[in-house]
Amino acid sequence: MTFARSLLLYPLMAVVFFGLDMVWLGVVAKAFYARALAHLLSPTVKWAPAFVFYGIFLVGVEVFVVLPGSQQGSAARTTLLGALFGFVAYATYDLTNWATLRDWPPAVALVDMAWGAVLTGTVSLAGHLIARRLAG
């Protein structure tokens, strides 16, 4: 894949990632996080650091998962490596919080790590399919 096409792949993956995560955070798991983290949640979202996370994380997904997976031509491998990448990244956050913050709920850590795997695996598959289209 050319550099120009990989630059186009990035925002397309971002749309998928952001869309899925907003449905998860804003609809599916909203009540769960509100209950479990009520004592820690800010009344307003600080969007700047959230977008910095999304930006950095998606660079990692594209560079370490989608581009290598697309070169090998394996959607299944790309999806599984994406799921592992997401699990590891979300585990870093959640297990560090669990280890260092007072009253970090273990259920949040477990749900988040599972969501990180599902979300990143799905985005990696979408990225793989988009990359195939862009290369074709």
- pLDDT over 90 (residue 5): no
44 by DSSP, 3-state: which?
coil
Q: Look at residue 70 in the predicted model and tell me its pLDDT.
A: 87
The Cα 58–Cα 56 span in angstroms is: 6
Mean pLDDT of 20-49: 94
Instruction: Grade residue 6 by pLDDT with cuts at 50, 70 and 90.
Output: confident
Q: Look at residue 37 in the predicted model and tell me its pLDDT.
A: 95
pLDDT digits (tens, 9 = 90+) for 122-131: 999 999 999 9
DSSP string covering 37-73: TTTT--SS--HHHHHHHHHHHHHHHIIIIIHHHHHHT
What is the chain's mean pLDDT, rounded? Answer: 95
Q: Look at residue 135 in the predicted model and tell me its pLDDT.
A: 84
More confident residue, 69 or 136: 69
Mean pLDDT of 78-107: 97
